[in-house]
């Protein structure tokens, strides 16, 4: 009799505690996943923030909470380098890391900034891992917002950058994910004027070919294509 009672208690107890236990295990797994993600991010973070750099109010552009078809600036206090290349890497890595509300991110979480340069004319070249192109939701709106979040963020924090060229794994690609054109540069400062990659040549002399041929060469081809 006492054995049966004990059994009943045991079964009841298991029934009550099993879901709680399962939830706890799920939570543990989730935390593990998060810390792995965190560890990976730290591993790939090419430019760690230097705490001795002055903390400035950086403006990061993610999706607007009120209207996800638009971007909105979020002020984040960050120790930013005064070197424009390091500073650009720092703000772009922060942009990639995403906002507190992950729904408002503009770039895929697994994308990595592999390299970043600024040419003498103010053209910045940002080289991203494949994930930028493969993990982003395909579409005109999503791809344009991704690019705009980068150009707006650079514009707000790195005045030396005049335009942005995006490469994927060191290569020029035709589009980001089927829609937005990555063969040209994007204006970063509104007064930057047309990119020298596409600016019309002045020469009118000779055959008509002079002009279009000049137009067809891109000075930012660093990849040896």
Partner 1 sequence: MLLDVGDSRRLRFLAIGGIGSLVVGGAAMAFALETSPQTQQGPGAGTLPPASVATAGQGGTPAPAGPAPGPPTAPRALNVVVLDPAHGGTDPGARGTGGIQESEITLEFATRARQALEQQGFQVVETRQGNENPSFDDRSAIANAQRGAVFITLHIASTGIPGTVRVYVNADLPPVKAANGLIPWDLAQAPFLGLSRKLGDLVQGMLTQHFKGSPDAAQTAAIRQLRTTAAPAIAVEVSSVVVNDRAELDHMVPGVADAIARGVAAFKPLYAMALPSGALP
Residues that bind partner 1 (CB under 8 A): 68-69, 137-145, 147, 174-175, 178-181, 183-184, 186, 194-195, 198-200, 204, 207-209, 211-213, 215-217
Structure tokens at 69: 């078809």
Nearest distance from C-beta of residue 181 to partner 1, angstroms = 4
CB closer to partner 1 out of 26 and 181: 181
Nearest distance from C-beta of residue 206 to partner 1, angstroms = 10
CB closer to partner 1 out of 48 and 199: 199
Nearest distance from C-beta of residue 211 to partner 1, angstroms = 5
Give the Å distances, CA to CA, from 84 to 44, 65, 94, 157. Answer: 20, 29, 15, 9
Nearest distance from C-beta of residue 107 to partner 1, angstroms = 13
Nearest distance from C-beta of residue 185 to partner 1, angstroms = 10
CB closer to partner 1 out of 7 and 210: 210
Q: Give 78-81's long-range contacts (Cβ < 8 A, gap of 24+).
A: 78/49, 79/49, 79/50, 79/51, 79/52, 79/53, 79/54, 79/55, 80/49, 80/53, 80/54, 80/55, 80/56, 80/157, 81/47, 81/50, 81/53
CB closer to partner 1 out of 30 and 175: 175
CB closer to partner 1 out of 81 and 211: 211
| Alpha helices, H only, 52-111 | 84-97
Residue 36: strand, helix, or coil: helix
What is d(CA 152, CA 156) in angstroms, rounded to the nearest whole number?
6
Distance from the Cα of residue 3 to its chain's centroid: 63
């Amino acid at each position: 009799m006492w054995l049966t009672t004990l059994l009943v208690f045991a079964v009841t107890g298991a029934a009550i505690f099993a879901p709680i236990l399962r939830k706890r295990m799920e939570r543990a797994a989730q935390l593990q996943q998060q810390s792995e993600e965190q560890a990976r991010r730290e591993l790939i973070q090419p430019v760690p923030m230097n705490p001795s750099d002055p903390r400035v109010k950086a403006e990061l552009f993610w999706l607007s909470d009120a209207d996800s078809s638009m971007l909105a600036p979020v002020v984040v206090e960050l120790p930013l380098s005064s070197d424009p290349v390091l500073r650009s890497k720092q703000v772009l890595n922060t942009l990639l890391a995403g906002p507190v509300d992950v729904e408002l991110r503009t770039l895929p979480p697994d994308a990595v900034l592999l390299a970043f340069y600024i040419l003498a004319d103010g053209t910045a070249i940002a080289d991203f891992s494949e994930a930028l192109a493969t993990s982003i939701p395909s579409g005109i709106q999503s791809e344009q917002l991704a690019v705009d979040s980068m150009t707006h963020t650079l514009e707000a924090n790195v005045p030396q950058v005049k335009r942005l060229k995006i490469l994927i794994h060191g290569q020029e690609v035709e589009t980001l994910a089927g829609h937005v054109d990555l063969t040209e540069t994007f204006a970063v400062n509104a007064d930057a004027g047309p990119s020298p990659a596409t600016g019309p040549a002045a020469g009118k002399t000779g055959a008509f070919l002079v002009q279009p041929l000049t137009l067809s060469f891109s000075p930012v081809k660093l990849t040896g294509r």
